[in-house]
Amino acid sequence: MPAPDFSFKIRSSSPGEQTARIILHMDKLLKQTSPCIVLVEGDTNTVLAAALAANKRDVSVGHVEAGLRSYDLRMPEEHNRRLTDHLSDFLFAPTARSETNLRKRTYGQIYVTGNTVIDAVDQHLPIAERKSDIIERIRFEKFILATAHRAENVDNLNVLNSLMGVLEESPLPVVYSMHPRTRKRLRQHRLLSRIESCKNVQVLPPLGYLDFLVLMRKCELILTDSGGIQEEATAPSIRKPVLVLRLSTERPEAVESGFAKVVGTDKNKALAEINEALKHREELPHKSPYGEGNAGKES
């Protein structure tokens, strides 16, 4: 990607302070640049802050990935996406279900476009397979790919213990790309050395996009609490089953199409689901529920 025309760094702080600082930076930038529209994508604090700043400057907002709902109010992202939808003049919904969610309330103009995640996978997987050497660093021939980073999972010691137990006792070795938040919590609770020394788990630092695409392509199964990975796994060039380590998902289309299954965070249940997924491998659809890779053009 080209270098940004403008950028700023926000130091680690509370979510409220972080959001406030982004609003301040964006307000100055909007005053300086006078855009006709601000496009935001996703459900992070940055997305909400940028939308709020634009609203206060009377600048139109376009929300890419609008209308997603998990209905799990423990998730900061659920609040961010709902508030951003309310602030937006143009809503680019990835699916018909997302459009239905938006029409339950009074919103701006709604367009069903598919999700740009599929565009990105289509564009970058061939590049990743040429450039990445990550697979040479993996010590297992067959493996499960895992991630876990959400606050409701890793900030809860009982849940964190359960998730680490899933990785340690998995019937197939696990390649685990560890998020900084998770590493911090594991170190805080003196669990980091335990998971790093487990022979069944290969812990990796946070990976770049190209390396992660290759691992998704090569793995047998994905364990994750990430929303985006649930979508990426449905790309025709990936087509991998996903077990969602959460109590809910804002990507129900991935579940309904057979790619994903929400299994919760209980260790025994998750391990049973892993065994079932590996034992009975079902044929996955060749078409993604999130579009045909042209969401960028449709938007």
Residue 29 has pLDDT above 80, yes or no: yes
- Ranking 7-16, 95-104, 277-286 by mean pLDDT, the lowest is 7-16
**Mean of pLDDT values over 197-224:** 97
Q: What global pTM score does this model have?
A: 0.86
Nearest to residue 277, comparing CAs of 240, 231, 230, 225?
240
**Mean of pLDDT values over 75-79:** 94
DSSP states of 80-118: HHHHHHHH-SEEEESSHHHHHHHHTS--SEEEE---HHH
In this prediction, residue 299 carries a pLDDT of: 66
Q: How confident is the model at residue 163 (pLDDT cuts 50, 70, 90)?
A: very high
pLDDT (tens digit, 9 = 90+) per residue, 176-202?
999 999 999 999 999 999 999 999 999
Question: Catalytic: which of 25, 63, 149, 179?
Answer: 149
Q: Are strands 144-146 and 221-224 parallel, antiparallel or unpaired?
A: parallel
pLDDT (tens digit, 9 = 90+) per residue, 96-139?
999 999 999 877 999 999 999 999 999 999 999 999 999 999 99
Residue 298 has pLDDT above 80, yes or no: no
Per the annotation, the verdict on 149 as an active-site residue is yes
Question: Which CB contacts under 8 angstroms, 24+ apart, belong to 279-285?
Answer: 281/241, 282/241, 282/258, 284/239, 284/240, 284/241, 284/258, 284/259, 285/234, 285/239, 285/257, 285/258, 285/259
